Amino acid sequence: MRVLIIGAGAVGFYLARRLSDQAQEVAIVDPDPAKIQHAADNLDVLAVQGNGAAPPTLEAAGLAKTDILVAASGVDEVNLLACLAASRQDVKVKVARVRHPEHFAPGSLLSLQDLGVDLVISPEQECAWEIFQLLATPAATDLARFAEGRVQLMGLRVRPGAPVEGRSLAAFDQEVGDRRFVVAAVVRDGETEIPTGDTVLRADDKIFLLAPSGQTRKLPALAGHDTHEVRRVIIAGGSDEAVYLAQHLSQHRISSTIVEQSRRRARELAELLPESLILRGDATDLELLQMEGVEGVDGFVALTDRDEVNMLVALLAKSLGADRVIPLVHRAEYMGLVDRVGLDAAVSPRITAANAIFRHLRGGSVTSVATVKGSRAEALEAIVSAHAPIAGRKVRDIRFPPGALLGVLVRGDEVIMPRGDETIREGDRAIFFLLPDALEALGKLIR
């Protein structure tokens, strides 16, 4: 499979790195010579400097022999023109990053289909939705959905005294009986492990569980967490992500307050969000945060355009007693700090956008994939074909590669937590958790 990526920013570079690591043929285009040099020096890709909407640049990047185009630059017009050019070359899949996809709603003068776009991704909207889900599930550090929402992946931190602490998974499984979840991965001291029945969970472990979506409310209690209703959220920064998040909160009757330093932007927000309280001020102002009642607020989200400010504001809010604190983080090195400094979760636009795009980049039987923040693992969903080596075999008889675990089978409307005597059938949706080293070997089993 050959993938052409337009834009070598955070999203484009991340996608290119992931794909090149998986031995895919990748080309990347960007007008910035420094970004192109960085890609050429650090990735096994064809790096082409130039305008991603210009035919000569696209030709030099090999558009004519491309299977998938991902237009992920920061300029909507470039992305849309690149997709239009790709449609003229019969590129199979065209993905466009668009900041405001609502401009192409039904009835608009131009539709995405007119421009040859198969999938539109808005990282801002994707981030807002992920943050809303994390706020609505207060104990979760990570969330992802599979099988059209019927299966959910949830990350949880094990608290001291939790029911699973100090227990092997096999022993806990026997006590639970007809369990409706599987512990798919454990992160301990920064190392990711695909667990076995002998794995013993400890306090402060981060565990990732797969379960039917209707069962996820029961999962936080296993890791020692209480649940409570979210009623009020404070948002630092008036970014596009903040607007989309406030709209989600309003739709669910959760009050929101946005703190924005720019007078002009604060006025715009007041017009866009009549049901939100808009305050003009500096979110790093300790006195302002105290006056607005950050102590005990159900959720605090830092959504400015600077990672350093988001981390600082999040730490201030946490120190003042905010219950659930989530910063927006672009830089990979800051994601690793989130757990160490005691923040509840973080959202990365590049990872969120990549997870939304990846299902269209895999091809074959694989329909969905999610990178798991703060770990080396990913969750992968595949449809079992008639010719797959695992089709028609019992789970106990299959030798899955080390570092891969079969978590859930979805068969029609039925969600199955597979035991050893379960037979995998053609057409089943199989959801795996795996480490990167296991991807190639697992691929041979499911194709």
Q: In this structure, are 157 and 237 located in the same domain?
A: no
Collapsing DSSP to helix, strand or coil, 335 comes out as helix
Collapsing DSSP to helix, strand or coil, 136 comes out as helix
Q: In this structure, are 266 and 239 located in the same domain?
A: yes
Looking at residue 421, which CATH number applies to its domain? Answer: 3.30.70.1450
- Beta bridge partner(s), residue 297: none
Does residue 204 fall inside a structural domain? yes
Q: State residue 250's pLDDT score.
A: 96
Stretch 316-333: mean pLDDT: 91
Does residue 279 fall inside a structural domain? yes
Does residue 261 fall inside a structural domain? yes
Stretch 329-347: mean pLDDT: 86
d(CA 436, CA 447): 17
Domain count of the fold of the chain? 4
d(CA 321, CA 200): 32
Q: In this structure, are 311 and 419 located in the same domain?
A: no
d(CA 58, CA 79): 12
Collapsing DSSP to helix, strand or coil, 185 comes out as strand
Q: In this structure, are 83 and 168 located in the same domain?
A: no
Q: State residue 24's pLDDT score.
A: 81
In which residue are the tokens 């405001």 written? 100
Q: In this structure, are 64 and 169 located in the same domain?
A: no
Answer yes or no: are the C-beta atoms of 352 and 123 closer than 8 Å: yes
pLDDT digits (tens, 9 = 90+) for 248-278: 999 999 999 999 999 999 999 999 999 999 9
Q: 325, 344, 363 — which closes off a domain?
A: 344
End-to-end CA distance of the chain: 15
Q: State residue 161's pLDDT score.
A: 94
pTM: 0.81
Does residue 16 fall inside a structural domain? yes
Stretch 304-326: mean pLDDT: 94
d(CA 200, CA 185): 12
Q: State residue 367's pLDDT score.
A: 65
Q: In this structure, are 15 and 115 located in the same domain?
A: yes
Q: In this structure, are 239 and 218 located in the same domain?
A: no
pLDDT digits (tens, 9 = 90+) for 136-146: 888 898 888 88
Q: 326, 344, 362 — which closes off a domain?
A: 344
Token code pair at residue 346: 């973080």
Residue 366: pLDDT above 70? no
Token code pair at residue 432: 């795996």
Token code pair at residue 276: 């939100």
Answer yes or no: are the C-beta atoms of 168 and 399 closer than 8 Å: no
Stretch 159-168: mean pLDDT: 92
d(CA 256, CA 440): 46
Q: State residue 291's pLDDT score.
A: 92
Token code pair at residue 101: 């996809």
Q: In this structure, are 287 and 358 located in the same domain?
A: no
Share of the chain above pLDDT 70, in %: 96
Residues with Cβ within 8 Å of 111's Cβ and at least 6 positions away in sequence, in order, are 104
Does residue 154 fall inside a structural domain? yes
Q: State residue 351's pLDDT score.
A: 83
DSSP 420-433: TTPBP-TT-EEEEE
Q: State residue 360's pLDDT score.
A: 60
Residue 364: pLDDT above 60? no
Does residue 439 fall inside a structural domain? yes
Does residue 187 fall inside a structural domain? yes
Q: In this structure, are 204 and 265 located in the same domain?
A: no
Angle at alpha carbon of residue 227, lines to 226 and 233, rounded to 5°: 125
Domain hosting residue 272, numbered range: 232-344
Q: In this structure, are 303 and 216 located in the same domain?
A: no
φ, ψ for residue 295 (rounded to 5)? -65, 120
- What value does the mean pLDDT of the chain take? 90
Stretch 320-334: mean pLDDT: 90
Looking at residue 112, which CATH number applies to its domain? Answer: 3.40.50.720
Q: In this structure, are 112 and 144 located in the same domain?
A: no
- Spatial CA neighbour of 258 closest among 287, 301, 291: 301
Q: 344, 365, 391 — which closes off a domain?
A: 344
pLDDT digits (tens, 9 = 90+) for 281-290: 999 999 999 9
d(CA 385, CA 446): 7
Answer yes or no: are the C-beta atoms of 364 and 380 closer than 8 Å: no
Angle at alpha carbon of residue 21, lines to 19 and 25, rounded to 5°: 50
Residue 107: pLDDT above 80? no
Does residue 128 fall inside a structural domain? no
Q: In this structure, are 334 and 355 located in the same domain?
A: no
Residue 215: pLDDT above 90? no
Answer yes or no: are the C-beta atoms of 358 and 336 closer than 8 Å: no
